[in-house]
């Protein structure tokens, strides 16, 4: 089948630009920092409206609250916004999972809340690239599919999740659950600033550590105190020394807080760190080392240490099916005048989780933009249409293909 068959449905997207842009701005100007559950829910309500045209079955799915070790050593609990799931044609031969997060890294009290034009082609705003623009790319690509005769071949399931920016602790089970029903995934994180796609991704773990010692007066009873700050410093130093001991594994102690008045031996110290790794088997190596360090500190008189957290994102390693999916994206990009490559990255996203569940996916099908997670975040506005065309063409080609057996190629190569 040649591309010309798809042309009318692809060209329809040109006329959708104004609406995509207006809705991206509308979404970006609603604060949806992950912990602003009300804001995330506002975005969800708007997305329910935007998606009405797709005529799928809509479900609001609450997710577990986020738990975090506070600086007082107690677990703090934060409610999250609800996820939104929309499904259509669960009986169709090819089932595709679509995912985009509603949250951003910009908290409700962050100064960056409005969009602004940097030049005719570049829009600056919170979440315009990561990934509110991508949400419009997804919706419009699906709308193009639904208008075409190819729609009958494809059943789909959209998940708009509320917590990707903190590692999807609440929505990970929903992604895992969707993985049981689908053949492939399309996720709408922004592409790299040069337009290329993310291929392999590192895995990531976030951990918190709590060291408890014993308080005592620094002058009169120093010998009775057990210094939690000192024990934590030893732990963090030993932790950082693990860097360089295993290829592909990096550890970043990123936060430490403890003690108070300097005339008191401190009895509490908190720290947090992140680990990135390249191969699934690196996880066990890291856990073994962490257990050794914890045992070393716990052996000390009057000191106890508690380690919380874990590896929320497995490394994304490309299976044969995943490589073929990238080739499809490259071929469709080429047809549309974009030369796309896929490159490894240390960053992670929901594509990691989906790949870990055995589902081939491309996770940077959203807009072209950059400087994400900063007040300089920008969106190249013409990519709204370009990338919607890319996804729409991929979908129609998948629907029109008479051989999708490659989707079963689960081995990594």
Residues at the interface with Zn ion (CB under 5 A): 130-131, 189
Q: Residue 274 has which token pair? A: 């992140």
Nearest distance from C-beta of residue 228 to Zn ion, angstroms: 36
CB closer to Zn ion, 86 vs 187 = 187
CB closer to Zn ion, 246 vs 373 = 373
Is residue 366 within 8 Å of residue 189, measured between CB atoms? yes
Nearest distance from C-beta of residue 347 to Zn ion, angstroms: 9
Where b means 16+ CB within 10 Å and e means fewer, 122-136 reads bbbbbbbbbbbbbbb
CB closer to Zn ion, 309 vs 351 = 351
Nearest distance from C-beta of residue 201 to Zn ion, angstroms: 12
Separation CA 349–CA 345 (nearest Å): 11
Is residue 369 within 8 Å of residue 193, measured between CB atoms? yes
Nearest distance from C-beta of residue 100 to Zn ion, angstroms: 8
Nearest distance from C-beta of residue 131 to Zn ion, angstroms: 5
Query: Phi, psi (5° rounding) for residue 17?
Result: -55, -50
Is residue 359 within 8 Å of residue 185, measured between CB atoms? yes
Nearest distance from C-beta of residue 350 to Zn ion, angstroms: 9
Total residues belonging to the chain: 413
Separation CA 319–CA 287 (nearest Å): 25
CB closer to Zn ion, 83 vs 398 = 83
CB closer to Zn ion, 189 vs 200 = 189
Residue nearest to Zn ion (CB): 130
CB closer to Zn ion, 131 vs 290 = 131
CB closer to Zn ion, 82 vs 189 = 189
Phi/psi region, residue 168 (left: phi>0; alpha: psi -120 to 50; beta: rest), is: left
For 2, counting Cβ atoms within 10 Å of its Cβ (0-12 exposed, 13-18 middle, 19+ buried), the class is: exposed
Nearest distance from C-beta of residue 164 to Zn ion, angstroms: 6
Is cis: bond before 131, omega within 30 of 0? yes
């Amino acid at each position: 089948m040649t591309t010309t068959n798809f042309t009318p449905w692809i060209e329809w997207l040109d006329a959708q630009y104004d609406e995509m842009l207006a809705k991206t701005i509308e979404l970006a100007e609603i604060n949806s920092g992950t912990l602003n559950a009300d804001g995330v829910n506002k975005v969800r309500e708007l997305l329910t409206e935007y998606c009405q045209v797709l005529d799928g079955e809509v479900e609001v799915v609450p997710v577990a609250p986020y738990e975090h070790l506070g600086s007082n050593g107690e677990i703090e609990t934060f409610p999250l916004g609800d996820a939104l799931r929309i499904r259509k044609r669960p009986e169709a031969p090819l089932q595709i999972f679509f995912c985009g997060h509603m949250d951003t890294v910009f908290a409700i009290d962050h100064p960056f809340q409005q969009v602004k034009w940097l030049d005719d082609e570049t829009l600056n705003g919170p979440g315009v690239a990561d990934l509110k623009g991508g949400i419009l790319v997804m919706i419009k690509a699906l709308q193009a599919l639904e208008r075409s005769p190819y729609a009958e071949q494809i059943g789909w399931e959209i998940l708009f999740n509320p917590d990707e920016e903190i590692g999807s602790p609440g929505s990970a089970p929903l992604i895992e659950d969707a993985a049981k029903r689908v053949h492939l995934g399309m996720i709408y994180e922004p592409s790299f600033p040069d337009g290329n796609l993310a291929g392999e991704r590192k895995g990531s773990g976030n951990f918190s550590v709590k060291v408890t010692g014993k308080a005592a007066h620094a002058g009169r009873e120093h010998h009775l105190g057990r210094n939690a700050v000192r024990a934590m410093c030893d732990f963090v130093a030993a932790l950082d020394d693990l860097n360089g001991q295993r290829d592909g594994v990096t550890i970043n102690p990123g936060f430490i807080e403890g003690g108070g008045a300097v005339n008191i031996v401190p009895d509490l110290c908190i720290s947090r760190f992140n680990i990135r790794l390249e191969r699934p088997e690196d996880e066990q190596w890291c856990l073994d080392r962490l257990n050794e360090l914890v045992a070393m500190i716990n052996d000390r008189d009057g000191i106890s240490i508690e380690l919380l957290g874990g590896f929320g994102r497995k490394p994304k390693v490309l299976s044969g099916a995943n490589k073929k999916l990238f080739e499809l994206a490259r071929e469709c990009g080429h047809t549309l005048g974009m030369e796309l490559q896929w490159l490894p990255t240390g960053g992670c996203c929901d594509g990691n989780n989906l790949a870990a569940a055995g589902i081939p996916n491309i996770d940077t099908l959203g807009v072209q933009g950059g400087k994400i997670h900063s007040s300089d975040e920008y969106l190249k506005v013409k990519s709204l249409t370009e990338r919607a065309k890319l996804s729409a063409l991929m979908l129609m080609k998948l629907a029109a293909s008479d051989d999708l057996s490659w989707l079963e190629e689960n081995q990594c190569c």
